[in-house]
Amino acid sequence: MAKANRVYYTKAPVTKNQEIEGEVVDITYQGMGVVKIENFPIFVSDAIPGEVVKVGITKVQKNFAFGRVVTRLKESPNRVKEVDQVAITTGIAPLANLKYEAQLAFKQQQVEQLFKKVNLDVTVNPTIGMENPTEYRNKAQVPVQEVNGRLETGFYRRGSHHLVPVEHFYIQDPKVDEAVTITRDILRELNISAYNEETKRGVVRHIMARRGFYSHELMVVIVTNTKRLPEAETIAEKLRAKLPELKSFIHNINNHDTNVIMGQWNETIWGADEIHDQLMNKDFVIGPNSFYQVNPQTTAKLYTLAAEKAELSSTDLVVDAYSGIGTITLSVADQVQKVYGVEVVEEAVEDAEKNARHNQIKNVEFIKADAPEQMMKWAAEGLKPNVVFVDPPRKGLTSELIQAVSAMNPETFVYISCNPATLARDAVEIIAEGFEIDGPVQPLDQFPQTTHVETVTVFKKQA
């Protein structure tokens, strides 16, 4: 029975294998089209807003269902006609079927809607996009499996551990794809086995390749379940012959039953222990386990924008929370008096300190600590920064961190977010602590062809 204009169901209005017709009214965060029957959402792969489709129901849950397109009765003018279906079905590039201008508009609307949900009236600028929104990722971590008796590399089908063999990943640097494919072919040639999760036997779990966008230095890492990589020297020799940009070939051991891809133990089989790349006129040292932005082209835009919006001056004291390998810290250091970076991952702090020395930057200090705890400690000690930058993980900020920033009383609080849902949630609490949003929120497309969007939001302390 309906109550307050909302419909409550004792059971779903559709059944498995049923075929229904409907209009696609939205896109989910996973890039699925949304069709509604009696307000009941059906998530449909490869369906975009404005289309009318006949849907075959594949799975029914209590509050939603999944379906596939049987027939496209009306096509959207925003549809990309020639698109690699594997990119969509595996989730590599779930928005590849949507024209790029429409992707940028969708991301702007996504940010607007999430702020509206928390009753904040903000202006959201058009999303800043890329000139070439494909082939931008500088790193691949590709699973390895035996498929029909042959070692394959590829991508897991959405929601499973079923490997779909893929050679060209659409959003990755073609040289990275080439490195993975060549490594796979060498492993096949030498009859080196893939690790089997069920039997716990076999050798190779993943192939990782990363390439400097500006330096063109290439690293290949083979991740094994075994302590020894068979034929390691032969693999190195064959890789060097086929990959002229190769600077580093590393064996990584991960013999834990975990979803974490890389283990902590590395052995350099050939070449250097790390490669280099440039970002915002700084040279960064990147090891096999280093976190480094996968799209340095837009990262440079993102951090330049954040620094501009912070209106930095040479006398400023700055705090960079979640500082990682120091990309923000080091990129703004030459504009201010001093920058403190705080990061909980020990290896990232080591990388940040190494990068500071490497670039001869002396007005920075990195602390290995949990960001909320360290910020509370600094607030208690009376540290008074002019500007605080935060670039947190997807889960956003904690109340403790927001309260600590408030206690520090900075003039400017710059929030770089990779998740607009947690940004909007946190904005409510930040405003309650006496800040106001200064100017429009700026989305930026760090990951084209996917539903992810980065934003820069500036908060100013109210007088």
Active site residues per annotation = 418
Rounded Cα distance, 19 and 295, in Å: 41
Residues facing residue 416 across a β-bridge? 456
CB 79 within 8 A of CB 98: yes
Rounded Cα distance, 393 and 375, in Å: 16
How many CA atoms, within 13 angstroms, populate the side-chain half-sphere of residue 225? 20
Q: Structure tokens of 226?
A: 């075994």
Question: Smallest Cα–Cα separation from 347: which of 418, 263, 236?
Answer: 263
Q: Structure tokens of 33?
A: 């089209």
Rounded Cα distance, 237 and 308, in Å: 47
Rounded Cα distance, 176 and 220, in Å: 9
Encoded amino acid at 305, one letter: L
Rounded Cα distance, 77 and 8, in Å: 35
Helical packing angle, 399-408 and 371-381, nearest 10° = 30
Rounded Cα distance, 50 and 28, in Å: 14
CB 430 within 8 A of CB 413: yes
The three-point CA angle 99-102-104 to 5° equals 115
Number of neighbouring beta carbons within 10 Å of residue 54: 15
Question: Token pair 């890389």 is at which residue?
Answer: 262
CB 170 within 8 A of CB 93: yes
Q: Structure tokens of 260?
A: 């974490």
Q: Is 317 helix (H, G, I), strand (E, B) or coil?
A: strand
Question: Token pair 């600028």 is at which residue?
Answer: 125
Q: Structure tokens of 211?
A: 């390439």
